[in-house]
C-alpha cells in the first residue's frame, strides 16, 4: 500500500484550527470578566465568598470590574477605586487565605487562556498575578505577622 505525504484527509473529516484573538477592547474585557465570574460563582473553593458571604450585587460589581480591567490593560482612567481597602474589609469579616488567592489566580488565568491569546492576554494574567500577590501579602501575610505575640 502506498503512503501519501502529507497524509490524505478522509472525506468528511473536518480539521478546524481555532485561532484565538487578543484582548482588544471593552467588549473583550466584558467577555473575560463575565466568563471569569461565572467560574468564580460555581467554584467550590472561593464561590461561597462571593455568593453566600459577600452577597455580591453583580449588576453593580461587574461594570466596576469592566472599568478596572479596561484601565489595567488600556490605561483608560475608567477606574478610580481602591480594591485593597475593600478586600481588607472582607478579610476582617471572613479571613481570606493564600489558597483563596491562588484559586482566584488559577480561575482567572484559565479563563484568559480559554478565550484569548496574545500580548494583552499575557499582560492581563501578569497584572492579575501581580495585583493579587500584593493583596495577599498586605492582607493575609501582614495580618498574620501583626497577630504574632513576641
Q: In order of start, what are the domains of the chain with their CATH numbers?
A: 26-146 (1.10.490.10)
Q: In this structure, what C-alpha cell is assigned to residue 63?
A: 461594570
Task: Please give the Cα distance from 50 to 43 (Å, whole number).
Answer: 10
Task: Tell me which of 1-15, 40-54, 69-83, 95-109 is least confident.
Answer: 1-15
- Please name the helix (run of DSSP H) or strand (run of DSSP E) that holds residue 58, with its range, or none: helix 58-74
Q: Is the pLDDT of residue 150 over 60?
A: no
Residue with cell 484527509: 9
pTM: 0.83
Amino acid at each position: 500500500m502506498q503512503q501519501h505525504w502529507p497524509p490524505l484527509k478522509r472525506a468528511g473529516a473536518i480539521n478546524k484550527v481555532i485561532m484565538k484573538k487578543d484582548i482588544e477592547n471593552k467588549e473583550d474585557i466584558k467577555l473575560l470578566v463575565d466568563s471569569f465570574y461565572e467560574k468564580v460563582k460555581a467554584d467550590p473553593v472561593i464561590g461561597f465568598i462571593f455568593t453566600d458571604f459577600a452577597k455580591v450585587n453583580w449588576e453593580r460589581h461587574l461594570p466596576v470590574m469592566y472599568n478596572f480591567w479596561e484601565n489595567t490593560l488600556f490605561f483608560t482612567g475608567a477606574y478610580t477605586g481602591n480594591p485593597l481597602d475593600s478586600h481588607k474589609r472582607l478579610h476582617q469579616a471572613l479571613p481570606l487565605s493564600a489558597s483563596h488567592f491562588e484559586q482566584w489566580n488559577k480561575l482567572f488565568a484559565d479563563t484568559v487562556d480559554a478565550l484569548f491569546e496574545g500580548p494583552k492576554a499575557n499582560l492581563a494574567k501578569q497584572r492579575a498575578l501581580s495585583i493579587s500577590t500584593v493583596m495577599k501579602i498586605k492582607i493575609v501575610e501582614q495580618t498574620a505577622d501583626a497577630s504574632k505575640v513576641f
